[in-house]
A and B are shown apart, each in its own frame.
Chain A
């Protein structure tokens, strides 16, 4: 049973526009959420995170929003650039000992110029 779900396998956006990637989770014990970006033949790289005490975190062009009541988070990229084309993974964990990050299946973002 998937605890972290990314329901859109792919997303296509034009350069300069906003990209919105979505993620839903089922485990109410999750209190830390992250987004990773992955290019082909490379390992995932950490992009941005948010803890459950916040509802928004911003880092340059990237903003993550968390809606705890809906168990939903989203990543906004503004403005989108062709170099943002990659697979984006949402991940979640709880702060308990003995736990590890649980990843979604990923969304492939394509930004066209």
Chain B
């Protein structure tokens, strides 16, 4: 079974802090993704990566950056956290692009005060 592990289940940060969300997958998947889930808005894609050191912007990349230095690890960075970034953050991986299911981690509930 694919395992996608997000380092924290809950995080509370202050406005203006730099925040790192870490994600690791153990199935040698090429592709990794960061989504955020908000009530009434569904899952929105922030960034994704289809190879080490490669990244692509999703629908809502503003205020975020990512890092993929190793195949198994994909980090989401909030350069200067703001209250509108309070959300559930979901990491996912897939074997290939397009027609391939995503496997999700359990999410990180981030609260920015």
Contacts and interface: CB of A to CB of B under 8 A. Distances in A.
A94 B96 CA distance: 12
Interface in A25-45: 31-32, 34, 36, 41-45
Contacts of B105: 43
Interface string B83-101: 0000000101000011101
Contacts of A98: 50, 56, 97
A93 interface: yes
A104 B98 CA distance: 17
Contacts of B106: 41-43
A105 B90 contact: no
A93 to B, nearest CB: 5
A34 B100 CA distance: 9
A106 B38 CA distance: 11
Contacts of A45: 104
B45 interface: yes
A44 B97 contact: no
A104 B40 CA distance: 10
B99 A44 contact: no
Interface in A63-113: 89, 91, 93-106
Interface of A: 6, 9, 31-32, 34, 36, 41-46, 49, 51, 89, 91, 93-106
Q: Which 6 A-B pairs have the closest CB atoms?
A: A43-B104, A105-B42, A95-B98, A103-B43, A32-B99, A46-B101
8 contacts: A31-B99, A43-B106, A95-B99, A98-B50, A100-B45, A102-B45, A103-B35, A103-B45
